[in-house]
């Protein structure tokens, strides 16, 4: 079976791309799915959130993309979660400039992942908060689509048209399979009318693709990364954990049904 690959993208920072990538990955792993997380953000938040110390690494995604290091050598097994990670370090901040001079610069990640496709059920790529070459590489490498986390706050939809245009361009030129595989509503605060309004707006804007599971604002989710843990090990009974567990179920159902209901942007 070949891996299903998804990228978590939104050029807005702080919308829970990383939180969603690592916690979803933890529950996919717990459900017995062979899962690889690829950290494409120079901030390396997915790497540290999964308990991996960037200083302990000999190879990272930078070496894979820029120096064609074999990706297998960059894979780290995360101790607590038991999933595989291609980590990122701050080196990656300089990668876009170097990539700009390279041949087939949009396809570096796609090519790097190719030898791994039979080794995993899911490959989840955590994107940086920008629409540059790193993000384009993620979008080009994704066979099964983009997941867009959207924070339930004022102006939640602002800037999304830019992301949608980028997705459209990548689909036209680089990856015709690219679809919007899902939208995840995050940091929902049930006490505010605004949050409920945003949920409605986002569901109207993306008919049929928004996951039913809504991720609540939950302090445990924000504490877990500083302990190098996912919510599954840090606070498995918290509201945040239950939400990501439900999201993982919904995600697997969508991804594993015979004819995936992928909606185009």
CB 39 within 8 A of CB 83: no
Give 77's strand partners: 84
Q: Candidates 54, 129, 132, 260: give the one binding ligand ADP (CB under 6 A).
A: 129
Q: In degrees, to the nearest 5, what angle opens at C-alpha 118 toward C-alphas 115 and 120?
A: 105
SS3 44: coil
Q: Candidates 5, 9, 11, 17: give the one binding ligand ADP (CB under 6 A).
A: 17
Which of 130, 106, 139, 131 lies closest to 38 in space, CA to CA?
A: 139
- Choose the stretch contacting ligand ADP; rule: CB under 6 A; options: 16-24, 66-74, 155-163, 164-172: 16-24
Residues binding ligand ADP: number (CB under 6 A): 18
Query: E strand or H helix at 14, and its extent?
Result: none
Q: Residue 28 and residue 90: Cα distance in Å, rounded?
A: 27
Residue 217 contact among Mg ion, ligand ADP, none, beta carbon within 5 to 8 Å by kind: ligand ADP
E strands in 74-212: 76-77, 84-86, 122-126, 146-151, 180-186
Minimum distance of ligand ADP from residue 17's CB (angstroms): 3
Q: Candidates 37, 187, 195, 252: give the one binding ligand ADP (CB under 6 A).
A: 187
Minimum distance of Mg ion from residue 49's CB (angstroms): 9
Minimum distance of Mg ion from residue 240's CB (angstroms): 16
Binding site for ligand ADP (CB under 6 A): 13-19, 45, 129, 186-187, 215, 217-218, 221-222, 225, 240
């Amino acid at each position: 079976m070949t891996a299903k690959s998804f990228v978590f993208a939104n050029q807005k920072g702080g919308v829970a791309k990383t939180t969603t990538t690592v916690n979803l990955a933890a529950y996919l792993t717990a459900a017995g799915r062979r899962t690889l997380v690829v950290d494409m953000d120079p901030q390396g938040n997915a790497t540290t959130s999964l308990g991996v110390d960037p200083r302990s690494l000999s190879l990272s995604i930078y070496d894979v993309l820029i120096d064609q290091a074999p990706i297998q050598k960059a894979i780290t097994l995360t101790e607590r979660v038991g999933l595989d990670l291609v980590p990122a370090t701050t080196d990656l901040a300089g990668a876009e400039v170097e990539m700009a001079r390279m041949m087939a610069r949009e396809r570096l990640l796609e090519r790097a992942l190719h030898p791994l496709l039979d080794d995993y059920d899911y490959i989840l790529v955590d994107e940086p908060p920008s629409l540059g070459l790193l993000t384009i590489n993620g979008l080009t490498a994704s066979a099964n689509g983009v997941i867009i986390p959207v924070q339930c706050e004022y102006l939640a939809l602002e800037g999304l048209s830019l992301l949608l245009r980028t997705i459209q361009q990548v689909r036209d030129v680089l990856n015709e399979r690219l679809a919007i595989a899902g939208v995840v509503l995050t940091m929902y605060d049930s006490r505010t009318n605004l949050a409920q309004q945003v949920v409605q707006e986002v569901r109207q804007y993306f008919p049929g693709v928004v996951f039913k599971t809504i991720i609540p604002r939950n302090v445990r989710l924000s504490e877990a990364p500083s302990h190098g843990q996912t919510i599954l090990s840090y606070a498995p009974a918290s509201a945040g954990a239950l939400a990501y567990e439900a999201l993982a179920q919904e995600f697997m159902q969508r991804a594993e049904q015979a004819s995936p209901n992928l909606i185009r942007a």
